[in-house]
Amino acid sequence: MDNQQESILLIATRLFEEFGIRRVSIDAVCKELRISKKTFYTYFPQKENLIEDILNYQKRNVYEKFERLIKNKNAIDSLIIIIKEIKKDIEATPQTMFYDLEKYYPKVFDRYIEQKRAEVRVGFEQNLRQGIAEGFYREDLDVELVSLFHSFQIKKTFDSMEQSPKKYGKKRLVEFFIDLMIHLIANEKGLKYMADQAI
């Protein structure tokens, strides 16, 4: 990716997050960057291409950040770091862009969600296998089903709990989620490690 393409992605992301995808035209992006539409279309033939590249760019940056954060960490510490970082990212992400994405670009949205869900499953399966190899997770875990449960059901449950009439603090929900996951997958050694970390 060259500098011009990255500049377009960064400026368009800022505009989409501030005003929503639908309200930001290609003209507005070009005007902000002081480039011609011909230059823009060299990189992105359609607005949908720009949106998909923004989503992939953001996703790649998040995964690179995760890799740095969990480098040389054991499976339990890695899982806790990732859960907390995902929550932080969700809280910091303006919802206007994703609202427009789901409403006006459903095919792009569905592809993005499906890819993200598949990548989360692969990452979680790797974490589970690492935890089993390190002796922190149960050896009898059904890695495929646990990662499927994690990628589908937990997010729905978490979202429902956040929207319940009685409001619960984000920190409390994150800690509950971590505790739930660890008790589902950890063996005695893993639970002792968790207890020792809390001291």
Helix (H) / strand (E) containing 76: helix 75-92
Q: What is the pLDDT, as a whole number, of residue 154? A: 66
CATH of 52-198, one of 3.40.50.12160, 3.40.50.1580, 3.40.630.30, 1.10.357.10: 1.10.357.10
pTM: 0.84
Domain range summary for the chain, segments of one domain joined by +: 52-198
Q: How far is CA 58 from the centre of its chain?
A: 9
Instruction: State percent of the chain over pLDDT 70.
Output: 94
Question: Residues with Cβ < 8 Å from 85, sequence gap 6 or more?
Answer: 65, 66, 69
How does pLDDT run across 171-183, given as a tens digit for each residue? 787 788 888 889 9
Distance of alpha carbon 124 from alpha carbon 122, whole angstroms: 6
- 7 Cβ contact list (under 8 Å, min separation 6): 33
Tens digit of pLDDT for each residue in 69-81? 999 999 999 998 9
pLDDT tens by residue, 140-157: 999 999 988 887 776 677
